[in-house]
Amino acid sequence: MNTDNRWAWVEVDLGAIQKNVALLAKQAGKAQLWATVKANGYGHGAVQVAHAALGAGATGLCVALADEAHELRQAKITAPILIVSEQPATQFEQMLRDDVVATLYNESTINSYAKTASDLGIVGKVHLKVDTGMHRVGAPVASAMTRCRQIKSLVSLQLDGVYTHFAAADLPNHDETAKQVQRFDNVVAELDQESLRPKYVHTSNSAAAMRVLSATTDIARVGIAIYGIAPSGELESMAKDLQPALSLHARVSHVQHLASGEGVSYGLRTKLSQAATIATLPIGYADGVQRRLWKVGGEVLIGGKRCPIVGVVTMDQLMVNCGDADVQIGDHAILIGAQGSQSISANEIAVKLETIGYEIVCGISARIPRKYLDAKK
Ligand SMILES: Cc1ncc(COP(=O)(O)O)c(C=O)c1O
């Protein structure tokens, strides 16, 4: 990737991902680590992250969409891939031909997936997702056993796993997680009683894996932590050994010396309180830098110093106040990452925007080129 061609780019340190995966796999103990690479690997690049994670000890992958699984298969990745929600019936044939692990939970979807598998002469691997309290998707606890028996009765399906997902594992003081663990453990006990326990029963996302919340996990479906980002502010201290893999860069494309009282950007919403050097960076909200970041104290590093974003972020460009610094066209700016002794994390920006680090990295658009560092085979 030639960063001379586009003065805004992402760098992804695959060595950092490998270190994070190795550390998390060790912490997961007997559980396997399946790296969650949905949404283009949380904006980092699904195929590159998948290769790095599998090379560092992950034994499977999780995605959200059938087409995300297909992209990994096209890249010759043969590891197990779990799609974590039901998919439209039009995707069933591709899923079966790709030999992915389907998540199922509705009676009708189970039957139609089984029918497609039977027509193709394929036995489809299935993980049943149980809704123990998140209330997003999954079979209600009360019908979990019925769904298990249904899957077991269909010869074109193989019940390979049963799992659940926590709603609040990233909030240590939330009391729902213990209740979810209990409800899931009850389901697992019933599976044991009927000798229906599949190869994998699993629960943990990053927060649950880091907090070792449930003994009932054969797989840790770890996402955000492999990218070196804490799942929440509350878990920052537990994530201190993780290394952020993504940094967001730009080069100064224009420099102005403006007098006190001048306004900057659309609407001229702020006036400079004193004369300043204003640097323009060719990156904007179409690249994933939110328009309102100027209003909530958004900053950029130039020359190792924090420079506030001044005026609204525009579609393709934003302006920063460099004070009296000597800034030149071509100077290197960091929007996420470290420069000198300063650093800006995805979670720092997330706090300002009242969101989570996940949204910041996933929001970096496809228009920004990704440069990969330090991939180890
Ligand atoms: C079912 C499921 N498992 C695991 C994950 C990974 O979560 P995290 O990135 O918090 O580790 C997700 C992500 O949302 C998910 O939906």
Q: Which residues share a beta bridge with 277?
A: 257
Same domain membership, residue 152 and residue 64: yes
| CB-CB contact of 231 with 205 (8 Å) | yes
* Mean per-residue pLDDT over the chain, rounded: 96
Burial category of 252 from C-beta neighbours within 10 Å (exposed 0-12, middle 13-18, buried 19 and up): buried
Residue 215's pLDDT is what?
72
Which of 235, 258, 281 is the C-terminal boundary of a domain? 235
Residue 271's pLDDT is what?
94
- For residue 169, the CA-to-ligand 1 centroid distance in Å is 11
Cβ(221) – ligand 1 distance below 6 Å: yes
Cβ(205) – ligand 1 distance below 6 Å: yes
Q: How many Å separate Cα 350 from the centre of its chain? A: 14
| CB-CB contact of 333 with 250 (8 Å) | yes
Confidence of residue 205 (pLDDT cuts 50, 70, 90): very high
Same domain membership, residue 70 and residue 28: yes
pLDDT above 90 (res 187) = yes
Q: How many domains does the chain have?
A: 2
Percent of the chain with pLDDT over 70: 99
- For residue 205, the CA-to-ligand 1 centroid distance in Å is 5
Same domain membership, residue 231 and residue 142: yes
> Does residue 363 fall inside a structural domain?
no
Same domain membership, residue 106 and residue 22: yes
Q: Which residue has the tokens 């700016």?
A: 333
Residue 270's pLDDT is what?
85
Same domain membership, residue 277 and residue 148: no
Same domain membership, residue 230 and residue 134: yes
**Three-class DSSP category at 266:** helix
Give the mean pLDDT of 101-110. Answer: 98
**Three-class DSSP category at 147:** helix
Give the C-alpha distances (Å, rounded to integers) separating 265 from 117, 134, 249, 309: 57, 43, 21, 11
Give me the DSSP letters along 270-291.
Answer: SB-SS-EEEEEES--GGGT--G
- For residue 95, the CA-to-ligand 1 centroid distance in Å is 20
**DSSP structure class, residue 32:** E
Buried b (16+ CB within 10 A) or exposed e, 190-210: ebeeeebbbebbbbbbbbbbb
User: What is the residue range of 328's domain?
Assistant: 246-344
| CB-CB contact of 229 with 20 (8 Å) | no
Residue closest to 324 by CA, chosen among 277, 263, 256, 260: 277
Give the mean pLDDT of 68-84. Answer: 98
Same domain membership, residue 315 and residue 183: no
Confidence of residue 375 (pLDDT cuts 50, 70, 90): low
Q: What is the pLDDT of residues 269-294, one digit of tens each?
A: 989 999 999 999 999 999 999 999 99
pLDDT above 80 (res 15) = yes
Cβ(60) – ligand 1 distance below 6 Å: no
- For residue 341, the CA-to-ligand 1 centroid distance in Å is 32
Same domain membership, residue 259 and residue 168: no
Residue 70's pLDDT is what?
98
> Does residue 7 fall inside a structural domain?
no
Residue 376's pLDDT is what?
55
CB atoms under 10 Å from CB of 218, counted, come to 18
Q: What is the pLDDT of residues 106-127, one digit of tens each?
A: 999 999 999 999 999 999 999 9
CA gyration radius for the chain?
Answer: 23
Cβ(204) – ligand 1 distance below 6 Å: no
Same domain membership, residue 122 and residue 254: no
Residue 294's pLDDT is what?
97
Query: What phi and psi, each to the nearest 5 degrees, are found at residue 327?
Result: -115, 135
Percent of the chain with pLDDT over 90: 95
Confidence of residue 217 (pLDDT cuts 50, 70, 90): confident
Cβ(167) – ligand 1 distance below 6 Å: no
Confidence of residue 216 (pLDDT cuts 50, 70, 90): confident
> Does residue 377 fall inside a structural domain?
no
Provide the CATH number for the domain around residue 259: 2.40.37.10
> Does residue 250 fall inside a structural domain?
yes
> Does residue 3 fall inside a structural domain?
no
Residue 212's pLDDT is what?
82
Give the mean pLDDT of 304-311. Answer: 97
Query: What phi and psi, each to the nearest 5 degrees, are found at residue 136?
Result: -115, -70
Give the C-alpha distances (Å, rounded to integers) separating 364 from 244, 249, 288, 360, 369: 15, 12, 4, 7, 10
> Does residue 290 fall inside a structural domain?
yes
Residue 361's pLDDT is what?
98
Active site residues: 38, 266
The Cα 207–Cα 360 span in angstroms is 18
Same domain membership, residue 322 and residue 222: no
| CB-CB contact of 234 with 228 (8 Å) | no
Same domain membership, residue 204 and residue 95: yes
> Does residue 222 fall inside a structural domain?
yes
Provide the CATH number for the domain around residue 65: 3.20.20.10
**Three-class DSSP category at 115:** helix
Same domain membership, residue 122 and residue 49: yes
> Does residue 120 fall inside a structural domain?
yes
Residues with Cβ within 8 Å of residue 275, at least 6 apart in sequence: 257, 258, 259, 260
Indicate the top mutation candidate among 17, 105, 165 to test ligand 1's pocket, ranked by most ligand atoms within 8 A of CB. Answer: 165
